[in-house]
Amino acid sequence: MTYLATILQSFFTDYVHTQRSLSANTIASYRDTWRIFIKHLTTLNRVCADELRLDHLDRATVTGFLAYLRDVRANTAATRNHRLTAIRSLLAYALPDHPEYAETIRQILSIRPSKTATPTLAYLSEEGTDAGLGDI
């Protein structure tokens, strides 16, 4: 039985700081993701946060969480993709130490990010470019 709390603690105290040297903003984003996800998991599984195990995670749970972010929290696709990256990062970290969950982790890691809208690039006409450069 592998408790999620143990993995989270080593991930945040050792891996993201020491081994990966992630920025403070990235670490805060990952932390916030896991706070939201843990609340979601505890509600879904009717267990306390300290009782959550890797057994509580599967592809359906993560995709359900992403749907919750979209539908209930009104998160954009970009935000959901950042949250998915935080989840995937921790599970990729956990995989070597927990090969008994390899298939479940593989399925979660295979979740594709949401498509985001590509901004339309606006170009100046040749006349507009000449006018703008003429002022220089």
CA 132, CA 10: separation in Å to the nearest integer?
A: 55
Residue 78 clears pLDDT 70, i.e. is over it: yes
CA distances in angstroms from 64 to 6, 35, 52, 111, 127, listed in the order given = 24, 16, 17, 12, 51
Q: Which residue has the higher pLDDT, 110 or 126?
A: 110
| CATH number for the segment(s) 4-134 | 1.10.150
pLDDT at 130 over 80: no
Q: What is the pTM of this model?
A: 0.82
pLDDT reported for residue 121: 64
Task: Please report, for the chain, the start and end positions of each structural domain, with discontinuous segments joined by +.
Answer: 4-134
Quote the CA–CA distance of 110 and 96 in Å, as a whole number: 17
SS3 of 53, please?
strand
pLDDT > 80? residue 86: yes
